[in-house]
């Protein structure tokens, strides 16, 4: 049962958030996803994560690297402002280098404007937050 719980919590932790074109502000629906991660981080004090910001293909490489960084930092700031220790969250940007969908259309671009979340430490056994 512990292994299944860990897998479920890991799945919730991996849920991506998306962004509007050329923006790095957290949208209301995505705030709910971050609130779920907040609960997981609070329930698992040894857990450390990495947030990786991604962009669609429009704009220069340099611009998109910076935008991806702002997107990762926006999610980190959301969590830190709600009590998570900043040292538990690493951030980096992949810019436009790792599209989920390589097509050049609105649907693909919308998917590619995202933050991904990964476990960097303390994720072997994860507890489910109360009420989840």
Report the domain count for the chain. 1
Confidence grade of residue 28 (pLDDT, cut at 50, 70, 90): very high
Q: Quick check: is 18 in a domain?
A: yes
Q: Quick check: is 58 in a domain?
A: yes
Confidence grade of residue 19 (pLDDT, cut at 50, 70, 90): very high
Give dist(CA 90, CA 1) in Å, integer.
Answer: 30
Phi/psi of residue 114, nearest 5 degrees: -150, 165
For residue 38, what are the domain limits? 2-121
The CATH number of the domain holding residue 76 is 3.30.1330.60
Q: Quickly count: other Cβ atoms within 10 Å of residue 98's Cβ.
A: 13
User: What is the distance in angstroms between the CA of the first residue and the CA of the last residue of the chain?
Assistant: 15
Q: Quick check: is 131 in a domain?
A: no
Q: Give, in order, the Cα–Cα distances in Å from 30 to each of 70, 81, 106, 126.
A: 16, 16, 19, 22
pLDDT given for residue 94 in this prediction: 98
pTM confidence score: 0.96
Q: Quick check: is 128 in a domain?
A: no
Confidence grade of residue 122 (pLDDT, cut at 50, 70, 90): very high
Q: Quick check: is 127 in a domain?
A: no
pLDDT given for residue 1 in this prediction: 76
Q: Quick check: is 9 in a domain?
A: yes
Q: Tell me the mean pLDDT in the region 30-36.
A: 98
């Amino acid at each position: 049962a512990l292994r299944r719980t860990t897998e479920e919590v890991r799945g919730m932790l991996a849920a991506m958030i998306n962004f509007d074109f050329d923006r790095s502000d957290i949208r209301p629906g995505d705030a709910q996803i971050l609130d779920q991660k907040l609960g997981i981080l609070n329930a698992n004090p040894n857990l450390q994560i990495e947030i990786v910001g991604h962009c669609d293909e429009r704009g220069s490489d340099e611009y998109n690297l910076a935008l991806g960084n702002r997107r990762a930092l926006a999610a980190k700031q959301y969590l830190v402002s709600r009590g998570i220790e900043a040292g538990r969250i690493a951030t980096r940007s992949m810019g436009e280098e790792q599209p989920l969908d390589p097509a050049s259309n609105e649907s693909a671009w919308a998917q590619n404007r995202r933050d991904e979340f990964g476990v960097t430490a303390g994720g072997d056994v994860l507890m489910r937050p109360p009420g989840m």
